[in-house]
Amino acid sequence: MNQINMDFERKVLLKEYEKVSQEIILYISTSDKVIGIGILILGFGFAYGIKENLEEILLMIPIAVFGVYFYALYLLTCLFSLAGYRKSLEEKINSLVGNKILLWDSEIWHKYLYGFTVIILNIILCILLLFTILISLVIAFESYGLKGLIILLIINLFFIACLVEAVRRMKTSFKKVYQHSKAAIK
């Protein structure tokens, strides 16, 4: 490849890298807002449902929590996919330059972003979900008997299974997109 083509390829790759980086920032900003607002609204709904003794609201809170979680997982899957693509761009740019000038995806983020705080946040979110499910199951049993409890339990188990699958897909999205884009960028 001649020098003009290599310079052009570097410029195009750097521009694409910058564009993907901006998209990642947008997804992070959006997910922060959605999760924050979602949990705030759920908290108000939960408090209002308890204060006014509105069983219908308390029965539906877990479904709303699942909705917030699924949307957050969708955003995180998009984010991880973009990060996988960006890593392949980073590696290609570094190989064209002949030096590691871009380090975030290959050297830094995975060493510092999965720490104690992320684990605690996930534990808190799981407790929140389990707490809302438990309360809705108790209300379903008290209000509708065993039949209501079983129906709501089946619905919640279905959503839990879907949530586990969504987490699995989110966790594999980075690697899949990275491998695919790395092969395509050659």
Counting residues of the chain whose pLDDT is more than 70, the rounded percentage is 91
Domain range annotation of the chain:
3-185
Helix (H, G, I), strand (E, B) or coil at 25: helix
Digit-coded pLDDT (tens) for 126-184: 898 999 999 999 999 999 999 999 999 999 999 999 999 999 999 999 999 999 999 99
Question: What tens digit of pLDDT does each residue of 85-97 get?
Answer: 998 998 888 888 8
- Name the residue among 61, 75, 91 with its Cα closest to residue 155: 61
The CA-atom distances, in angstroms, between 40 and each of 29, 49, 61 are: 17, 14, 12
pLDDT at site 112? 59
